């Protein structure tokens, strides 16, 4: 019981956010259909299409493990797929319960180190995975939306606003990661100045401690790029798998569309809408993009679902988001007992990479705020 209470206290903010967004969604739905109407809608869903929707979600999880396995195998040839799948689910789970997915990468690195992987190499793998996934998502979503641009311009209100927000947040993130890889010193000095200033105006408490915490993560990403080397075939393979993952991850929306006995919209249109909508809300600063995800779904998928948009949104959110949290929690709990603390596979440093456990940059050793 104490362990459960500690867990609730630790994730209280996430629990409140998820509860509030679900309550708002249910309240809106009940106003539209009533309890009896909602029960009728859910009872008439086509089970075959719902099963297929769950299946496409499961395949995306398997592909997440495959991407991680390819990157892990680059440095650890005997690293198993099962361990990589565990790391992938860990990322999905913590991305779902932390704002802006902020807990995903640090927890993946933590679990990889507990599996016996050296710290520099785990950071290298996760940094490579992060930048390839984000860059692929942005480019692919833009290509998809451009193929049907007249349709979306005509049918999606505020398309320009969604596009600008999605591009700005994603490009800033990618640019920051790339800049860290080539010129970390500039980022560190700029970040140190900003955090010290926030401390002086009493917005940020203990700025030096906060700065060192942030820099520890940035150092890991910086070293990560150097450790992975320049294996373009590896990155091309990961990008191609990511594209397949994005398409399959968006097919669940089409499957839900068909589960509601709706017809007429093409698979390509719904995939394009869902991939782009998901890209837009990547950096909404709430767990799972709560609020933003629902708004984006309504904006892009109301075209297809019409009066069934709110019930469809409920089913979609329960399956893809709350389902991911449930599966992630169960699998991470089980996987932790099986893999954490076990001897690592053969340690191997790829010929085109540098020492992944060399001393990290000393950028964290900045002068303190009082003397800056």
Q: What DSSP letter does each residue of 179-226 carry, written as one string?
A: HHHHHHHHHHHHHHHHHHHHHHTTSSSSHHHHHHHHHHHHHHHHHHHH
**What is the rounded distance in angstroms from the CA atom of residue 255 to the CA atom of residue 249?**
11
DSSP-derived secondary structure letter, 99 = B
Provide the mean pLDDT of the chain: 79
Lowest mean pLDDT among 65-74, 100-109, 162-171, 177-186: 177-186
> What is the tens place of the pLDDT at every residue in 21-62?
777 777 776 776 677 777 888 889 999 999 999 999 999 999
pLDDT of 60: 95
pTM assigned to the model: 0.76
What is the residue whose two structure tokens read 């076990």? 342
Which of 51-60, 163-172, 260-269, 350-359 is predicted most confidently? 51-60
CB 279 within 8 A of CB 290: no
User: 85 or 289, which is more confident?
Assistant: 85
Report pLDDT for 289.
66
How many beta carbons lie within 10 A of that of residue 344, not counting itself? 16
DSSP per residue over 263-275, as a string?
-SS-HHHHHHHHH
Q: What is the pLDDT of residues 284-317, one digit of tens each?
A: 666 666 667 888 888 888 889 988 888 998 899 8
Q: What is the mean pLDDT of residues 275-280?
A: 83
Domain boundaries, the chain: 49-343
**Cα gap 325→261, rounded to integer Å:** 27
């Amino acid at each position: 019981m104490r362990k459960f209470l500690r867990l609730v206290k630790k994730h209280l903010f996430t629990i409140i956010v998820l509860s509030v967004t679900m309550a708002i969604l249910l309240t809106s739905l009940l106003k539209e259909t009533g309890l009896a109407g909602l029960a009728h809608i859910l009872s008439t869903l086509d089970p075959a299409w719902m099963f297929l929707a769950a299946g496409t979600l499961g395949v995306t999880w398997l592909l997440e493990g495959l991407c991680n396995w390819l990157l892990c195998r680059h440095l650890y040839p005997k690293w198993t797929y099962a361990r990589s799948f565990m790391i992938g689910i860990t990322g999905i789970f913590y991305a779902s319960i932390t704002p802006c997915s902020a807990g995903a990468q640090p927890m993946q690195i933590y679990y990889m180190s507990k599996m016996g992987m050296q710290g520099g190499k785990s950071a290298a793998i996760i940094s490579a995975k992060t930048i390839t996934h984000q860059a692929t998502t942005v480019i692919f979503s833009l290509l998809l939306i451009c193929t049907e641009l007249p349709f979306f311009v005509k049918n999606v209100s505020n398309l320009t606003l969604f596009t600008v927000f999605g591009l700005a947040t994603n490009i800033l993130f990618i640019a920051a990661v790339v800049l860290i890889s080539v010129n970390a010193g500039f980022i560190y000095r700029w970040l140190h100045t900003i955090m010290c200033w926030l401390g002086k105006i009493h917005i940020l408490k203990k700025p030096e401690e906060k700065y060192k915490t942030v820099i520890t993560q940035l150092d890991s990403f910086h070293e990560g790029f150097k450790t992975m080397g320049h294996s373009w075939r590896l990155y091309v393979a990961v990008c191609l798998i990511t594209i397949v993952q994005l398409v399959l991850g968006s097919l669940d929306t089409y499957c839900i569309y068909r589960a509601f006995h709706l017809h007429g919209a093409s698979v390509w249109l719904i995939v394009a809408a869902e991939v782009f909508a998901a890209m837009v809300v990547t950096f909404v600063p709430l767990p799972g993009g709560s609020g933003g995800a629902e708004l984006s779904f309504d904006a892009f998928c109301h075209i297809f679902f019409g009066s069934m948009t709110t019930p469809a949104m409920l089913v979609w959110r329960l399956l893809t988001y709350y389902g991911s949290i449930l599966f992630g929690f169960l699998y991470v709990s089980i996987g932790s007992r099986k893999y954490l603390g076990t001897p690592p596979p053969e340690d191997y440093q790829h010929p085109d990479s540098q020492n992944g456990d060399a001393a990290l940059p000393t950028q964290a050793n900045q002068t303190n705020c009082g003397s800056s």
